[in-house]
Amino acid sequence: MKWLFRLQAESRDGRRNLEDLCGFAWAETEVLGNPEESFKDKAEDRGKMPSVGFRKTYLGITPDFRYWTKDQHKQLIIEAKGTPKPIGLKDRIQAQRYFMYLGDSGYTGAIVYFVPNPKEWLDWLTEIGGQSGHPFGVVDWTAQVVPRVANELLHVVAESLAQTADLLKTALRLSRTAPVDEI
């Protein structure tokens, strides 16, 4: 996961690593989170918000990826979009809620979008969250994320094929030495 936190995001202040943008780096035992990690009605997610207000506004919202420090005071919210530009009210409400969540919970961190057209999306995010005080940015997923994921998948497939080939060699060797009635 270190590679994720070291991706370069375009922000209104220039290019920055995600770890610099959100205020924490990946540390295996210190950072929690997952893809599709929704906001839950628990003290760690609510922060300084009362349960009733939290449930009305944030319960069940599910960013594509969400990571946080053990105390949850610093968070990284990532949303991935495949469209060249925002599609309307749904995208706007979603982004506004992410910015509001950081403000209402009292947590710090960043909101980052993985998108195919960083300039368009950064302008849009600046309009939505520019006055919030929360860091935000965009990562060109076609230039940074897809090649990295493709490389990782290729490595996994190659390793799996090598293991399968080793197992087949072992099976063939055993079949040659085993008596016919045991095959």
The per-residue pLDDT for range 13-30, each reduced to its tens digit, is 899 999 999 999 999 889
- What is the pLDDT at residue 180? 55
Tokens of 40: 């839950």
Evaluate whether residue 58 is within a structural domain. Answer: yes
d(CA 77, CA 98): 8
Planar angle of CA 149, 63, 80, nearest 5 degrees:
40
Evaluate whether residue 87 is within a structural domain. Answer: yes
> Is the pTM for the entire model greater than 0.95?
no
- What is the pLDDT at residue 139? 92
Q: The domain containing residue 65 runs over which residues?
A: 2-141
Query: Is residue 126 within 8 Å of residue 111, measured between CB atoms?
Result: no
Evaluate whether residue 167 is within a structural domain. Answer: no
Query: Is residue 74 within 8 Å of residue 35, measured between CB atoms?
Result: no
Evaluate whether residue 150 is within a structural domain. Answer: no
How many CA atoms within 13 Å lie on the side-chain side of 71? 7
Task: Identify the three-state secondary structure at position 35.
Answer: strand
- From residue 127, give the alpha-carbon distance in Å to each of 77, 78, 99, 132, 146: 18, 18, 12, 10, 27
Evaluate whether residue 70 is within a structural domain. Answer: yes
- What is the pLDDT at residue 121? 94
pLDDT band at 79 (very low <50, low <70, confident <90, very high): very high
Tokens of 32: 């929690």
Across-strand partners of 79? 113
- The answer to whether residue 133 scores a pLDDT higher than 80 is yes
Evaluate whether residue 152 is within a structural domain. Answer: no
d(CA 23, CA 109): 6
- What is the pLDDT at residue 60? 86
Cα 81 from chain centroid? 12
- What is the pLDDT at residue 145? 62
Averaged pLDDT, 105-120: 94
Evaluate whether residue 47 is within a structural domain. Answer: yes
Evaluate whether residue 31 is within a structural domain. Answer: yes
**What does pLDDT average to over the chain?**
85
Which is it for strands 108-115 and 136-140: parallel, antiparallel or unpaired? parallel
Number of domains comprising the chain: 1
Kindly give the residue spans of alpha helices, DSSP state H, lying in the chain. 2-5, 18-22, 43-46, 51-57, 89-105, 118-129, 146-177
- The answer to whether residue 115 scores a pLDDT higher than 60 is yes
- The answer to whether residue 53 scores a pLDDT higher than 70 is yes
